[in-house]
Amino acid sequence: MHREPLKSNLPGKNFEKEQLRAVLDSADIHGVKNKYIDLLHKMAISKNLKLTGKELMLDFGCGNGRLALWFTEKVESIVGLDVNYELLKQAKMFCQEKNIKFLQSDGIGIPLLSNSFDFILSVAALQAISDAIIFEKNVGELARVCKPNGTIFAIEQVAKNVDDRRRTPEEYTQTFQQHGLSPVVNYPIRYGRSFFIKAVSLGIIPQFLLKNFAWFELNCTMFKKTPKISYHEQMMIFVKQ
């Protein structure tokens, strides 16, 4: 989760659009693409989610709290962790629920006890770590604070080939396994330059159909052979043994 600081003010009437722009695609000035990606992320998580409502959750790389807030009624309590002070300030303003608290950390030494969380979420956080040693330490810390039989959900951009600047799904799996985490789910949810995202970005898809379109892409992508593209987003779920 070793990310460079990102400063973004959240103007009142465009709050949702700017909130997503701060943590997803900063070039999406109209906000439709980011709204679509946000929908798709939540659908992919929901498709695999099995919670009792009593879980202690860590949102690793929480940014300005877009997913932490969504989880407030699904779990007992949430800790949001991020390296970016500006985004954490926004998160504290945006998320007023009593079962959320936010901490600043670079992920290398998470200031929390071992075996603390039933459920850990990492969305677009690990992919931002280019240094292999820091990446491995971050995964090790996630494993440390995860309870035995706890679950880690990760949605990250991955590469098809090892020569890409992004990691492959196999590299993620290998690193997590080295820290006692077993893979249970591993499949693509969105291709980076697919017809779907182009149609949304160009405004071809009406906004009231975005949810249906995201559902269609998610279900098509899950069972489709990975095409020869530069990157895609992968849904990865690991369980601590």
pLDDT in tens, 121-148: 999 999 999 999 999 999 999 999 999 9
CA distances from residue 64 to 22, 61, 103 in whole angstroms, order as listed: 8, 9, 12
- Average the pLDDT over each of 12-26, 89-103, 111-125, 149-163 and give the range with the smallest value: 12-26
Pair 41, 53: CB distance under 8 Å: no
pLDDT above 70: residue 221: yes
Domain boundaries, position 131:
15-240
Note whether residue 207 is domain-resident: yes
The CATH number of the domain holding residue 213 is 3.40.50.150
Owner of token pair 């300030």: 89
Other CB atoms within 10 A of residue 70 CB? 16
- H/E stretch holding 118 reads strand 117-123
The HSE-up count of residue 23 (CA atoms within 13 Å, CB side) is 30
Note whether residue 6 is domain-resident: no
Note whether residue 9 is domain-resident: no
Pair 26, 63: CB distance under 8 Å: no
Note whether residue 8 is domain-resident: no
- H/E stretch holding 191 reads strand 181-191
Instruction: Name the average pLDDT for the chain.
Output: 88
Q: What is the spatial distance between Cα 178 and Cα 27, in angstroms, rounded to a whole number? A: 36
Look up the pTM and report it: 0.89
pLDDT given at position 5? 38
